[in-house]
Chains A and B, each alone.
Chain A
Amino acid sequence: MLPDEIKPAMQGVLPSTIVTCSLDGIPNVTDISQVWYVDKDHVALSHQFFNKTHRNVRENPYVQAIVRDGRTFQEWYLELQYDHSEEKGPLFDKMDMELEAIASLTGMSGVFKLRAADVYRVLSVRKSRSRQ
């Protein structure tokens, strides 16, 4: 479902927005650094901390995400459904490596621990109209 041209928006150059909702209907909006491209029908979010987003998703798997292309500033709207978490494997390793690379540069090795790679199924994708 995801076209190739969305890939630049999933490099973490500009922050992405994640919207979740608890079972009793209270929404939560937060910005994260990157939504990862897994394959045509899946994306992944890194799970590092326990927080409201995480709690909501555990109750209610439906998530909305906005990703932004760092060069064109093109926005994409994604509707996602939580599928499963991975604590090892190539996806986890990739995320973990990047975390390690950045943390080591700022003297923060070992501070940030990647708990899991949460994989989501893409339910729909929509390119937002550019308003120039």
Chain B
Amino acid sequence: MAVEHEPEASLRDQMVENQTIINRLNAALARKTDEVRIIQRISSEINSTLELDRILEISLDAMDSVLGFRHSMILLADKDEQFLWVAANRGYDGLEKDAAIPVGVGVFGVAARRRSVMRMGNIGARRAYIGGVGARMHAAGHTQLSQVSAMPGLPDAQSQMGIPLVVKERLVGVLGVESAAPGAFDELDEMLLSTVGNQVATGIDNAQLHLSAIERSRELDTANAALSRLNETLEASVEARTAELSAALDEVRREKALSENLLRRTAPSEVIPLMMQDKLVAQRLDVTIMFTDLEGFTAYSSGMEPDEVFSHLNEFFGWAGELIGRYRGYVNKNLGDGIMAVFGVPFESATHRTDAALTALAMQREMNSQFPFGMRVGINTGTVTAGMLGPPDKSLYDVLGDAVNIASRIEKICPSGGVAVSPSCADALRPWFQLKPLDEREVKGIGQMTCFNVVGLRAIAEDARRVDPTSRFAADYLPVIEEVEKFKSERLGVVDFISLQARDLALHHNEAVACYTVATLRALRSESPEGQPWKGIDDATLIAAALLHDAGKHALEPARLNDRGLDSAGRDRLRRDLMDSTVQTLRQIGEDRLIPTIEELYRFEATRGTDGEFRPEVELLAAADIYDALTAPKIYKGSPWRIVGALAELMRLPYCLRQKRPAFTTFVELMKPADSVIAVRARSGTLIR
């Protein structure tokens, strides 16, 4: 007979315990599965509306019926996050309207302040302990303890759970649940309510944004209405006021013009802003001084009434002043019937020597046709000090130095109708000008000195650095030069090419480019009479394009044009600005039809011909332009290239290496010295050694 053993007491207990555990786990699992469904439902309901009241209702409904929290409330934070107002509640009777909890007080207040979920299940016990200590302290005389008013909610809540609602770092409010029973909420409740809390927070935030958007649009409507009423009344008063104001403005403008005119007489216009700000200081500058003196004026004006004398003189001064200004000179003073002009003030200039010489030449060239008397000119370059000189109410922008006196003395020894320059000045001018030495003379203060007379600019045909005397161009195409000159004066008389070219000393550049281009075109035509595309190009248009291809120079600062220190980015910018300015100028003078060709020319030069195909006119212009840039003396480049070197460089352009270019080849043939050979190394494939 088997004896039935009773399981040991400990084993039975263990089995009961295990069952309890299993039951609990099952319950937890069931809750967890429900959890997801609950959250989803609540979430979709909350997201279905933008009305705040509705959202609060849905949330509390969910907390009560679905999650089983009997007493719950939603608190919303005020703007400054100082207080939490009870916005909605469930499970309370007679909760005060407008009840508030200060942030930082109680479980809900601390959850808000610290923005952290808080769950407490032993509030009663803790309060009793701390409250006891407080009472003892109070009895002992510590009266600084503040009194706290009654909090909204259950009077003796033992358990409380507060979920802070935070959206994008803004405290929206707190989700709160409480219970009269201690330890009423566990970890799972905390997790569930946190998840719901996130949904509720976003929903409330959206609703609030929506509300404020509605508010804002209503505000705007009201504002708009007020504004349009205001506009009407305003327009009427504005009209009246405008009439008053424009009268006053005209008055002010007149005064301003008057004072500016006065100022302009005493200093170059660039200096005036500095004067106004009291920032003008004396400086040492390298300048060129020009003295002019009229010959035969005394004889001419003898017997004239004073009025007439002055009228003639002032006419001369007006004309001379405009010319001097065009070449960026400054009329310092008039001395009787003479003028003293300074080039290179108030800022350093790279072109002051040539500016002075060109001004003098221009004046002498036109003197005969303008005035019945002759003129002498003396020019010297040197260092002076420049600044405002004179008593306070009569000061003048003036220059001081030996160079000034020497210029005056050189003028005295100048032949009639000539332009006399000092030896040092002559050296600087030689690359561009034809000079003739004067007799050696004693110049007071220096001693014996051989000055020079500036005869004029070197002609292209006689400039061996540009045109080789043995080239085919020199042999067959020199008449083109005169043709271009005639075209220039007849068709483009409105443009002063010399003053344009003076800015960066590209003297005769445009004429040279025009000559080379047209000569090459004609050479190509003679090689193949019916050959396109050369037959279809119009000579006059080509000449015009050549002459005007950099007409925009007048709008760019000479300092920029002559900058030797430009890097490739700077050069690109300069090229772009020059092109824009040229296009504008072409429009101003009505030569719009040249614009596409000019733009293509700039593109060619910017990319050295690698950017696609180009019009035949552009090929011709580019060859001539690049060649002259290399061979003619300029400021911003070093020494000019020899002709042979320049031509070889043309053939090395990527444009020419890609395939045969008849325009370039013919140009080279035309310009090269008779006995030279321009080696052209075409890029071959693999070199087998």
Q: Do A and B come from one complex?
A: yes
Q: Which residues of A contact B (CB under 8 A)?
A: 4-5, 7-8, 11-15, 33-34, 70-71, 93, 97-98, 100-109, 111-112
- Residue B645 is within 8 A (CB to CB) of chain A in the complex: no
Cα A33 to Cα B105 with chains together (Å): 21
Cα A93 to Cα B116 with chains together (Å): 10
With beta carbons under 8 angstroms apart, the residue of B107, B114, B125, B146 that contacts A107 is: B146
User: Quick one: given A102-B127, A108-B130, are A97 and B118 in contact (CB under 8 Å)?
Assistant: yes
Cα A11 to Cα B187 with chains together (Å): 11
Cβ–Cβ contact B145 & A111, under 8 A: yes
Chain B 134-155 interface 0/1 with A at a Cβ cutoff of 8 Å (1 = within):
1001000000011110010000
- Residue B498 is within 8 A (CB to CB) of chain A in the complex: no
With beta carbons under 8 angstroms apart, the residue of A98, A109, A111 that contacts B126 is: A98
Q: Which residues of A contact B158 (CB under 8 A)?
A: 13
Cα A97 to Cα B126 with chains together (Å): 13
Q: List 27 A-B contacts (CB under 8 A).
A: A7-B186, A8-B186, A11-B121, A11-B182, A12-B121, A13-B121, A13-B182, A33-B122, A33-B125, A33-B129, A70-B182, A70-B183, A93-B114, A97-B110, A97-B114, A98-B118, A100-B110, A101-B106, A101-B109, A101-B118, A104-B105, A105-B106, A106-B127, A106-B130, A111-B133, A111-B134, A112-B133
Cβ–Cβ contact A12 & B21, under 8 A: no
With beta carbons under 8 angstroms apart, the residue of B109, B116, B137, B187 that contacts A104 is: B109
Q: Which residues of A contact B127 (CB under 8 A)?
A: 102, 105-106
Cα A106 to Cα B640 with chains together (Å): 96
Q: Which residues of A contact B67 (CB under 8 A)?
A: none
Cβ–Cβ contact A101 & B107, under 8 A: yes
User: Quick one: given A106-B134, A106-B148, A112-B130, are A101 and B110 in contact (CB under 8 Å)?
Assistant: yes
Cα A108 to Cα B106 with chains together (Å): 12
- Name, among B21, B125, B187, the residue most crowded by chain A CB atoms within 10 Å (CB to CB): B125
Cα A70 to Cα B159 with chains together (Å): 12
- Residue B104 is within 8 A (CB to CB) of chain A in the complex: yes
User: Quick one: given A97-B114, A101-B107, A101-B109, are A108 and B133 in contact (CB under 8 Å)?
Assistant: yes
User: Quick one: given A11-B183, A15-B125, A104-B105, are A5 and B134 in contact (CB under 8 Å)?
Assistant: no
Q: Which residues of A contact B21 (CB under 8 A)?
A: 5
Q: Which residues of A contact B130 (CB under 8 A)?
A: 102-103, 106, 108, 112
With beta carbons under 8 angstroms apart, the residue of A13, A101, A107 that contacts B145 is: A107
Q: Which residues of B contact A106 (CB under 8 A)?
A: 127, 130-131, 134, 148
Cα A60 to Cα B213 with chains together (Å): 65
Cα A98 to Cα B160 with chains together (Å): 11
B180 to chain A, nearest CB (A): 13
Q: Which residues of B contact A7 (CB under 8 A)?
A: 186-187
A126 to chain B, nearest CB (A): 13
Cα A105 to Cα B110 with chains together (Å): 11
Cα A121 to Cα B528 with chains together (Å): 107
With beta carbons under 8 angstroms apart, the residue of B105, B114, B125, B182 that contacts A105 is: B105
Interface of B: prevailing SS: helix
- Residue B272 is within 8 A (CB to CB) of chain A in the complex: no
- 10 tightest A-B contacts by CB? A12-B122, A13-B182, A11-B121, A104-B105, A101-B110, A107-B146, A102-B126, A107-B148, A13-B122, A11-B183
A63 to chain B, nearest CB (A): 21
B21 to chain A, nearest CB (A): 7
Q: CB-nearest residue of chain A relative to B160?
A: A101
Q: CB-nearest residue of chain B relative to A104?
A: B105
Cβ–Cβ contact B118 & A105, under 8 A: no
B162 to chain A, nearest CB (A): 9
- Residue B120 is within 8 A (CB to CB) of chain A in the complex: yes
A106 to chain B, nearest CB (A): 5
Q: CB-nearest residue of chain A relative to B28?
A: A4
Q: How many residues of B contact A (CB 8 A)?
A: 35
Q: Which residues of A contact B148 (CB under 8 A)?
A: 104-107
Cβ–Cβ contact B122 & A70, under 8 A: yes
Cα A13 to Cα B186 with chains together (Å): 13
B678 to chain A, nearest CB (A): 85
- Residue B123 is within 8 A (CB to CB) of chain A in the complex: yes
B137 to chain A, nearest CB (A): 7
Cβ–Cβ contact A108 & B145, under 8 A: yes
Q: Which residues of B contact A107 (CB under 8 A)?
A: 134, 145-148
Q: Which residues of A contact B134 (CB under 8 A)?
A: 106-108, 111
Cβ–Cβ contact A100 & B182, under 8 A: no
Q: Which residues of A contact B187 (CB under 8 A)?
A: 7
Q: CB-nearest residue of chain B relative to A127?
A: B17
With beta carbons under 8 angstroms apart, the residue of B104, B131, B147 that contacts A100 is: B104
A131 to chain B, nearest CB (A): 14
Q: Which residues of B contact A108 (CB under 8 A)?
A: 130, 133-134, 145
Cα A109 to Cα B106 with chains together (Å): 11
Q: Which residues of B contact A8 (CB under 8 A)?
A: 183, 186
Q: Which residues of B contact A5 (CB under 8 A)?
A: 21, 24
CB-CB contacts below 8 Å: B93-130 with A:
104-107, 109-111, 114, 116, 118, 120-123, 125-127, 129-130
Chain B 162-195 interface 0/1 with A at a Cβ cutoff of 8 Å (1 = within):
0000000000000000000011001100000000
Q: Which residues of A contact B186 (CB under 8 A)?
A: 7-8
Q: A5-B24, A112-B130 are in contact. List 6 more A-B contacts (CB 8 A).
A: A13-B158, A101-B106, A102-B130, A105-B105, A107-B148, A111-B134
Q: Which residues of B contact A97 (CB under 8 A)?
A: 110-111, 114, 116, 118
Q: Which residues of A contact B114 (CB under 8 A)?
A: 93, 97
Cβ–Cβ contact B106 & A13, under 8 A: no
Cα A103 to Cα B133 with chains together (Å): 11
A116 to chain B, nearest CB (A): 19
B128 to chain A, nearest CB (A): 9
Q: Which residues of B contact A70 (CB under 8 A)?
A: 121-122, 182-183
Cβ–Cβ contact A14 & B137, under 8 A: no
Q: Which residues of B contact A104 (CB under 8 A)?
A: 104-106, 109-110, 148
CB-CB contacts below 8 Å: B438-490 with A:
none
B132 to chain A, nearest CB (A): 10
With beta carbons under 8 angstroms apart, the residue of A14, A71, A93, A109 that contacts B125 is: A14
Q: Which residues of B contact A71 (CB under 8 A)?
A: 183
Cα A18 to Cα B121 with chains together (Å): 21
A39 to chain B, nearest CB (A): 13
Q: CB-nearest residue of chain B relative to A69?
A: B183
Q: CB-nearest residue of chain A relative to B104?
A: A104
Cα A106 to Cα B123 with chains together (Å): 12
Q: Which residues of B contact A13 (CB under 8 A)?
A: 121-122, 125, 158, 182-183
B191 to chain A, nearest CB (A): 14
Cβ–Cβ contact A33 & B110, under 8 A: no
Cβ–Cβ contact A101 & B120, under 8 A: yes
Cα A42 to Cα B151 with chains together (Å): 35
